[in-house]
């Protein structure tokens, strides 16, 4: 079995990391569209077109499931992808993250740090209130974080001050914070230094959802789930491969190989 995972760059590695921890019987194709990063500054139509192209690429490479490891792409293009590619499951990161935040929050006040487009879409508030209308949701769009993480975040006073400026715009009485961009877990340590709240990384629940869907597919189609000593991961990167490799290895704590330039993008 094969999982297709895509993001606007390195951020989706936070989802891939959790998938690797929970699934040992399926290979992965990871697509990082770093040439077009950040998605959060683009129009919904632009994001949909990019995601459809990536979806075609993953389908052509015979994946059994697609994971949109990007909150912005989930907000802008999840429905579009599901309408186009009806033959396989397509999972976004928002629903799993929202469900986890509801479980974590005690005072029903949840903050979200995300890209501006994700914040503007109000998708976390919509999903959370659909699950439980009693919760309050406060979203803050952070226009500079994603591109800075994509380039390789440096832990210095200037970056800490910038990060603090975003965190400080959330209400003080929230008790739970959703990392509403898959790039943000890469700087989770820095965020935790600035805010004493329960942190929700949607990648954890997303990986569980992927495992559930793969088990359903295996049962339905008679696939044999054979445990592998090491799953194979092929990386396709539209932008600077060396930069992706450097940032990715720093986050995953292992050497990345099998990195290619895709034919589209």
Q: Which residues are annotated as catalytic? A: 70, 181
Backbone angles phi, psi at 263, to 5 degrees: -80, -20
Backbone angles phi, psi at 210, to 5 degrees: -60, -45
Residues 153 and 181 sit within 8 Å (Cβ to Cβ): no
Residues 32 and 240 sit within 8 Å (Cβ to Cβ): no
In terms of Cα–Cα distance, which of 5, 1, 59, 75 is closest to 248? 5
- Return the structure tokens found at 143: 């226009």
Residues 40 and 72 sit within 8 Å (Cβ to Cβ): yes
Residues 176 and 148 sit within 8 Å (Cβ to Cβ): no
133 Cβ neighbours under 8 A, 6+ residues apart: none
d(CA 10, CA 186) in angstroms, rounded, equals 9
Q: Where are the alpha helices (DSSP H) in 67-201?
A: 71-84, 94-104, 116-121, 123-131, 145-152, 157-167, 188-194
Q: Residue 179: in which H helix or E strand, if any?
A: strand 176-180
Helix (H, G, I), strand (E, B) or coil at 69: coil
């Amino acid at each position: 079995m094969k999982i297709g995972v895509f993001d606007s760059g390195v951020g989706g590695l936070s989802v891939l990391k959790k998938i690797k921890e929970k699934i040992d019987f399926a290979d992965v194709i990871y697509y990082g569209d770093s040439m077009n990063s950040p998605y959060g500054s683009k129009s919904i139509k632009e994001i949909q077109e990019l995601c459809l192209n990536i979806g075609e690429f993953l389908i052509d490479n015979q994946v059994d499931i697609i994971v949109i490891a990007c909150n912005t792409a989930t907000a802008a293009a999840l429905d579009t992808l599901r309408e186009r590619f009806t033959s396989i499951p397509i999972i976004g990161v928002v629903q799993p993250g929202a469900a986890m935040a509801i479980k974590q929050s005690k005072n029903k006040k949840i903050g979200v740090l995300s890209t501006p487009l994700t914040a503007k879409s109000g998708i976390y508030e919509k999903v959370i209130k659909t699950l439980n209308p009693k919760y309050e949701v406060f979203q803050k769009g952070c226009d500079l974080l994603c591109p800075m993480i994509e380039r390789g975040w440096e832990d210095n006073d200037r970056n800490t001050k910038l990060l603090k400026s975003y965190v400080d715009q959330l209400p003080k009485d929230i008790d739970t914070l959703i990392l509403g961009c898959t790039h943000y877990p890469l700087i989770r340590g820095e965020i935790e230094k600035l805010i004493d709240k329960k942190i929700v990384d949607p990648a954890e629940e997303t990986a569980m959802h992927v495992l559930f869907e793969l088990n359903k597919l295996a049962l339905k189609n008679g696939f044999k789930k054979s445990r592998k000593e090491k799953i194979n991961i092929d990386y396709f990167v539209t932008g600077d491969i060396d930069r992706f490799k450097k940032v990715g290895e720093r986050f995953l704590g292992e050497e990345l190989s099998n990195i290619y330039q895709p034919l589209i993008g």
